[in-house]
Structure 1
């Protein structure tokens, strides 16, 4: 998932180096970062989303909504997704603090229908956000060290690495499917049994936000 190459970012921005599709080891498998930009103004961890339609969400919501005409679907808050990327990268580099920035960039024919944080934007807006960080926070020596650490700490790109990461992601998705999420409001779904009517005795998934949300899915 890319919107432009790291080389293009380096050309546009005052950065020292950039990395694409970086797979880092974690305690439970691996995590893959779309782009990492390293500079004396900070380290920028970029998550790109290739989506279309209307996008609804806020910084604190666990689940965001994509709406394409009458079709509605839910997806994980990309800020939360990128938080794990940042914590993993900080652990690998041995750094703490607020000098690692999360950037979420949407590409494709999508439109925000709710107000988004300044670090959730489209391609050009992402460049402007990165350029707005103009305070020097790392020395040239630190930047060089981060680049070397990232090159040595990442899992080497290969078909095997991609297969292992894909397998890990599928396991996460499978576990999430066991904990169903309401497609309408994002609340947890609860397995229930019909007490009366023609479906008495049959099990179904009902939204835990009932009666505010009356979404029902067959078990």
Structure 2
């Protein structure tokens, strides 16, 4: 039998296995996990949030001074604007609101990832500027899917699965009018970059550049835990801590990051 015939015969027998291997490789990729996680969150919103009261806008890429920022989901309602960051992760999750990085542990293997609250903070600030809306009408929400388990206490706006629906529905105070909701939706649509492969590719390259720069230039020791800005020494003027000194973000009141001395 000729070599070419042998190759053809082997290929005919092996191609189903090669196809399965390729599919498994794609399903394990960060790209696929991100798509799957966002699809799950989108589905929950469409199933459990009344369509007339809550308006879902997904995959919103907005231009910024240094490039762009990509928001997984924005849910607009008369109860406020909910900015949702999705994380599709397995294993144990360790972290706190002030830590710059959180930890994922699967058995003995650990992986560091950016604090999603800090990540979403930039999204919030960009939307605040874009929409010209008061910060108290914007709600940051981080949703974990994929079977992960929190091993440290998390704030109310860091949840699993359906927990994000409960969080949204817990906000019952009307803070926006129908006219404002309509204006916000139109502003997002007109201000966002057109969803496309090119837009996504440029954003990914922008993020990769930022990550590489951080690896070269480590963050300042006294950087704000929320926005990374410079911290300045301040003194509490009232409350239980009146008279006590602390580190406060230099951009206050735009950012309210604090740290003990």
Q: TM-score, normalised by structure 1?
A: 0.79
Q: Is the 8 A contact 1:23 1:33 kept in 2?
A: yes
Q: Is the 8 A contact 1:64 1:76 kept in 2?
A: yes
Q: Which runs of 4+ in 1 moved over 2 A?
A: 3-8
Q: Name structure 1 gaps, 5 residues minimum.
A: 182-219
Decide which structure has greater strand share: 1
Q: Is the 8 A contact 1:3 1:48 kept in 2?
A: no
| SS in structure 2 of the partner of residue 4 of structure 1 | helix
Deviation at 1:8, TM superposition (A): 4.7
Query: What does residue 131 of structure 2 align with?
Result: 93
Deviation at 1:179, TM superposition (A): 4.0
Give 1:166's match in structure 2, choosing from 204, 209, 212. Answer: 204
| SS in structure 2 of the partner of residue 163 of structure 1 | helix
| SS in structure 2 of the partner of residue 114 of structure 1 | coil
Query: What does residue 157 of structure 1 align with?
Result: 195
**Following the alignment from structure 1 to structure 2, what is the Cα–Cα distance between the partners of residues 180 and 72?**
21
| SS in structure 1 of the partner of residue 176 of structure 2 | coil
1:115 aligns to 2:153 (yes or no): yes
Query: What does residue 13 of structure 1 align with?
Result: 49
Q: How many residues align?
A: 181
Deviation at 1:149, TM superposition (A): 0.4
Decide which structure has greater helix share: 2
Report 1 or 2 for greater relative contact order, CA contacts < 8 Å, sequence distance ≥ 6.
1
1:4 aligns to 2:61 (yes or no): no
Query: What does residue 69 of structure 1 align with?
Result: 107
Change (3 A) 1:6 1:72: closer
1:40 aligns to 2:78 (yes or no): yes
| SS in structure 1 of the partner of residue 134 of structure 2 | coil
Q: Deviations over 1:48-80 (max 9, x none)?
A: 001111000111111111111111121111000
Q: Is the 8 A contact 1:18 1:35 kept in 2?
A: yes
Q: Name structure 2 gaps, 5 residues minimum.
A: 1-33, 220-261
Give 1:146's match in structure 2, choosing from 173, 184, 191. Answer: 184
Q: Is the 8 A contact 1:10 1:17 kept in 2?
A: no
Query: Which protein has the larger Cα radius of gyration, Structure 1 or Structure 2?
Result: 2
Change (3 A) 1:18 1:7: farther
